[in-house]
Chains A and B, each alone.
Chain A
Amino acid sequence: MKAPSVIAKNLKLLFRSKETAFTIVFGPLLIILLVSAAYTGGSGDTVLVGTYAPNYTGLADSVITALKDQGYQVNVFANETQCVDRIKTGQLHTCIIFPEDFRIKGNETNTVTFAVDYSRINLVYQIIDGLSKEFDLQSTQISQGKVGDVLARVALAQTTLHEQMAQANTIDKDLSDTRANLAAGKNALGNVDVNVSFTDLVVIKGNVAGLNTVIGDMQTRAQEGLSAAEDLLTQAKRDCDNCSQDYLDEIDASILELENASNEIGKISKKVPEQVAEVNHIIDTAAASMRQVQDRFARLVNASEKTQQGLGESINLIDDALSRLTTLRGQLQHIDESLQSSIGLTSEGVASPITTRIEAVNAEQNNLAFTYPYILMLIIMFLGLMLSSMLIVMDKTSTAAFRNFTTATRDEYYILMSFVTTFIILLVQTLVILLLSRWFLGQSFLNNFGVSLVIIFVAITLFSFLGMIIGYVAGTAEAAMISSLSIGSILLFISNLVLPLEAMNRVVQVLSVYNPYVVLSELLKQSMLFSLKFRYVPGKIGLLVAAIMVLFLAVLVVQRSFKRRYFQRRSKDLAMTAFAPARVVKPLILGKRQVKDLFDLLAVLDAMTRAEFEAVIAPDKNPIEAWVRNEVQEKRLARRLDTRSKERMILALDTFLKKQTKRLAKG
């Protein structure tokens, strides 16, 4: 089993190196403890605040008391300059200068000045934040008093309004009734016919006159009829020989009756003219009376018309009045409704209509709970990047790198084992951190542990592979560390943890969507705080797994590239030929040896005896230095070769050639 050996080797290397053991293995635990301490406590007792006021009002005193209550060390100064000077000497962090007669009044504005060393500006915001609460309290109390007064007046107005509205309703009803009466009267007047016609009387009079004639005719005809009847009866009597006496008596009685009737008619006829004259007189009298009535009716009609006109105008006026009354009632109703909304208002509600309350969706007692997933993911990110990159750098810069490359083990295996080592360490650390959180913070973040664990697995894998790429690209451990920190910082910056994303540039916001730190920390937060169900995870996790696969392929590519360059770098011959001068260099003759290039020179110097060297290099001549300067044209190297020590020359040449070799192998 190779895997345990490789993992054990990696762990031994990490733990036996003090730097990595401390910074990578124990560092995160320290970080989480410090972060926990920072979030769970904190007071202002180390903040030194000075105050100055021309006259200390109640409000100024209450502010000072509030500051003291918040744990600030407050010193009261009698002199503004003295207070400000203390900031310059570092004895105070800030000086609060209250205005004269500092109190909250009507429309006047009070300006409180903070004298501050600008490097401590955050401290000022902290203090202002605390003081704002005090100022707000004062303002609220005054506002509440004023608003209470206004509300009482509104209530009184509302009561009066209700009374007026009731009266308006009564008036409306009365007017409506009056209008109805007037309308009825007007109609009644309109219906009265006062026209009197005298035609009938004239006709009557004429008829009466005619009646006289008719009656005369009738008398005549009646006399004639009666005479005829009598004649007939008389005739009948004479003709009736055989008639019984009774019959004849009957006829005689009838003839008598006819004579009586004729007499009566005669009498009546004599009275008719008198009667007609009397009737005519009566008619004339009636006509005269009627004329008088007619005159009166004419006057009455005139009066009635005027009355009707007046009634119409009155009705119109009443209609107008009713219309205005309706409008008035509507307005009163609106006012009433408006005032109605003030029912139930409290002075607190009006003076402070909006109050904010932060309600935690979980049971945490401090804001660490909210930021905890971000911090945990932050640690995983930085640790994953640094640990994996350091492991790779440790391996590739180790003297053992060559032997690893030459063993009968595939390159992919080393990558996987580095990943597994990182994974194990990170997983253990994460679990330790979670347990410590439960222990120290008294709150479990192990809720929804299955989903959280999947997210943590993905995060460790992703950041480990990213770190491995950094490890293969970076030349040194320092470069790997700086690169890891830089990339981690960039990912951190494009997230919600440092600054709210919403406040950032649009481009940054878009970039953040692809930021694995953002995606993973959000997922972890949702899982830890809101018990995200697993069915909501696969989409994002799928994308991250795809990213992991891409990163793994990238690791393979950079590892192959590194391996190729590694063996090229080992081939010193490359350097010798690679930076040999393009032009032909005049050979240097040293004794019996010929030197064509710097490698020749090194070999020849190495092989030269001291006597041979001393024969070539004299106090007044150094052909090697001259040749390097003039022919090879490496002036800096020539300066280093300007020595009479063979060892120094060899050292200078060797150093130069090694540097050139490295430079060329890299490039």
Chain B
Amino acid sequence: MGRSVVFDVKKVSKSFKQNHVLKDVSFAIHKGEILGIIGASGSGKTTLLNLLVGFLAPDKGAILFTDYPKSGKPLTFNVLTKPLIVNRSYGFASQHPSFYEKLTVRENLEYFGRMYNLGSHAIRANVDILLRLMDLKASQHVLSQDLSGGMKRRLDMACAMVHNPGVLILDEPTADLDPMLRTQVWEVVKRINTRGTTVILSSHHLNELDTLCNRIAIIRDGRIVDLDTPDKLKLKYTKEQEILIESYPGAYDKLIPKLKGKNISSVERQGTYLTIRTEEPQRTIKEAIALLDKAGEQLLDIKLNKPNLDDVFVSIYRIETPDTRPKATKEGNA
């Protein structure tokens, strides 16, 4: 991944009436990366994405966009000054698919291709590629309203990609999708990224972003509290691991008091499992097995859950005040 910057967000603030949605946000998005933006509902993710492409104008600060033409020098400018060039440079797909339900798959792609000023030949070529890429070839003459949820989402992404943009922005593209469809969408995103397209996406499904994104920005209360690779974020915010033990007859009530206080932050019964959170999983497992033997419990199952982005997210959102927050990395701002 190169370090060429596509979007350079500089001290951007945005308010709606008296309410500050984004506060002094600064960060950069690199060419060719997949950047995930996570945050609670209403934390400012969509506003940030809308600002990136000039749908909204920031109250303060500026967002610079660098256009990398196929020939010639890159051109950097404020996204608000040249909206048509910016529009031509990105594709945007949100959680609500955006295409005409009464047009067929191919008609939609051809129509939006025209709207991006593509010639007939380019449209035909791009549409054929996208139909294959999105696995929609067989449904190209089907009315969009008759597509399944996953196909609609793929068509939406195809519409966003029909003009072959350098940047693809996905605002919660897997919201309301079942796991199977979510997997399909992420597969497509990966394929698109391998073609060199920069992908910026927001999602609630943090664990899926874990394996997808090169970097993740965490946004809370209008600020990017951290921006780093998933591994670094997990390392930074979650040291505890979760041990799940299932035994027979499962008289965990006697075991829980004995486990407490041994570098274990919490232990509780969850259904047929005993859940233990600790920063020293190896030692805790040994101790727990010993205690089970002693109590005459027959071990049925034992699992070790390593921390994931969910944990990072929860960890960040547990922090009540700015004073107790961990320090942001150099690219995020506190």
Residues of A within 8 A of B (CB): 1-2, 5-6, 9, 12-13, 16-17, 398-410, 567-568, 570-578, 580, 592-594, 599-600, 602-603, 606-607, 609, 611, 657
The answer, among B41, B114, B204, for a CB contact under 8 Å with A576, is: B41
Quick one: CB contact mask for B222-242 with A, threshold 8 Å, 1 for yes?
Answer: 100000000000000000000
B159: chain A residues at CB < 8 Å are 403
Which single residue of chain A is at the shortest CB-CB distance from B91? A406
Q: How far is the CB of B210 from chain A (nearest CB, A)?
A: 15
Q: What distance in Å separates the Cβ of B146 from its nearest Cβ neighbour in chain A?
A: 12
Given known pairs A571-B16, A593-B318, the reply for A399 and B42 (CB within 8 Å) is no
- Which residues of A sit under 8 angstroms from B110, Cβ to Cβ? 5
Bound-state CA distance A575–B19 (Å) is 9
Closest to A406 in B: B92
Q: Report the bound CA distance from A402 to B112 in whole Å.
A: 12
**Beyond A2-B114, A12-B107, A410-B84, is A577–B20 a contact (Cβ under 8 Å)?**
yes
Main SS at interface, chain A: helix
The SS class assigned to the B binding surface is mixed
- What chain A residues lie within 8 Å of B99 (beta carbons)? 399-400, 403
Whether A578 touches B112, Cβ cut-off 8 Å, given contacts A400-B99, A594-B318, is: no
Beyond A5-B110, A408-B84, A578-B16, list 20 extra A-B contacts (CB 8 Å).
A5-B114, A9-B100, A399-B99, A400-B100, A400-B108, A402-B98, A406-B87, A568-B16, A571-B16, A571-B21, A571-B47, A573-B43, A574-B19, A574-B21, A576-B43, A592-B318, A599-B42, A602-B41, A603-B41, A603-B317
Question: CB-nearest residue of chain B relative to A1?
Answer: B114
Question: Are B112 and A599 interface neighbours, CB within 8 A?
Answer: no
B8, chain A: closest CB distance, angstroms: 21
Contacts of B42 in A (CB 8 A): 572-573, 575-577, 599
The answer to whether A398 touches B100 (Cβ under 8 A) is yes
In the complex, whether B211 has a CB less than 8 A from a CB of chain A is no
A574 with B112, Cβ < 8 A, contacts A9-B103, A406-B53, A594-B320 known: no
Which B residues lie within 8 Å of A578 (CB)? Answer: 16-17, 19
Chosen A-B contacts, 24 in total, with CB atoms closer than 8 Å, are A6-B111, A12-B107, A399-B97, A402-B94, A402-B98, A403-B92, A403-B112, A408-B84, A408-B117, A409-B116, A409-B117, A567-B50, A567-B55, A571-B56, A572-B46, A573-B16, A573-B47, A574-B16, A577-B19, A577-B222, A607-B310, A607-B313, A607-B314, A609-B270
Answer whether A570 and B112 are a contact pair too, CB < 8 Å, given A407-B87, A577-B42.
no
CB distance from A413 to the nearest CB of B (A): 9
| Cα A599 to Cα B204 with chains together (Å) | 13
A399 adjacent to B103 (CB under 8 Å): no
Complex Cα–Cα for A404 and B114 (A): 11
Task: Give the nearest-CB partner of A606 in chain B.
Answer: B204
- Chain B 52-78 against A: per-residue CB contact (8 Å), 1 yes, 0 no? 010110000000000000000000000
- Contact indicator B46/A571 (Cβ below 8 Å): yes
Residues of A within 8 A of B84 (CB): 408, 410
A12-B107, A13-B103 given; A599·B41 CB < 8 A = yes
Contact with A along B289-318 (1 / 0, CB 8 A): 000000000000000000000100110011
B residues near A600, Cβ cutoff 8 Å: 40, 317
**Which residues of chain A have C-beta atoms less than 8 A from B97's C-beta?**
399
Question: Could you say which residues of chain B place their CB within 8 Å of the CB of A17?
Answer: 102
Closest A residue to B88 using CB positions: A408
| Chain A residue contacts of B222, Cβ below 8 A | 573, 577
Shortest distance between the CB of A190 and any CB in chain B (Å): 127
B126 to chain A, nearest CB (A): 14
Shortest Cβ gap from B118 to chain A (Å):
10
B138 touches A (CB below 8 Å):
no
Residues of A within 8 A of B16 (CB): 568, 571, 573-574, 577-578
For A576, the chain B residues whose CB sits under 8 A away are 41-43
Find out whether the CB atom of B107 lies under 8 angstroms from the CB atom of A9.
yes
Q: Within 8 Å of chain A (Cβ to Cβ): is B96?
A: yes
Taking CB as reference atom, which chain B residue is nearest A600? B40
Chain A positions within 8 Å of B116 at CB level: 407-409
Report chain A residues within 8 Å CB of B107.
9, 12
Is A407 in contact with B21, judged by CB distance below 8 angstroms? no
* B1: interface (CB < 8 Å): no
* Interface membership of B271, Cβ < 8 A: yes
| 5 A-B pairs with least C-beta separation | A576-B42, A577-B19, A407-B115, A5-B114, A403-B98
Produce 1/0 per residue, B111-130, CB < 8 A to A: 11011110000000000000
Q: How far is the CA of A12 from the CA of B270 in the complex (A)?
A: 56
Q: How far is the CA of A572 from the CA of B171 in the complex (A)?
A: 12
Question: Which residues on A sit within 8 Å (CB–CB) of B17?
Answer: 578
Q: Which residues of chain A are within 8 angstroms of B103 by Cβ–Cβ distance?
A: 9, 12-13
* Interface status of B36 (Cβ within 8 A of chain A): no
Query: Residues of B contacting A408 with CB < 8 Å?
Result: 84-85, 87-88, 115-117, 163
Asked if B44 is an interface residue, CB under 8 A from chain A, the answer is: yes
Closest Cβ of chain B to A593, distance in Å, is 7
Is B187 close to A, CB under 8 A? no
When the two chains form the complex, which single residue of B50, B92, B111, B314 contacts A571, counting CB atoms closer than 8 Å?
A: B50
Which residue in B41, B55, B111, B313 is a CB contact (below 8 Å) of A9? B111
Q: Is the CB of A2 within 8 A of B101?
A: no
With known contacts A2-B115, A407-B116, A577-B21, A13–B102 Cβ distance under 8 A? yes
> Does B45 reach chain A (CB closer than 8 Å)?
yes
A407 to B118, CA, bound (A): 11
Question: Which residues on A sit within 8 Å (CB–CB) of B163?
Answer: 408
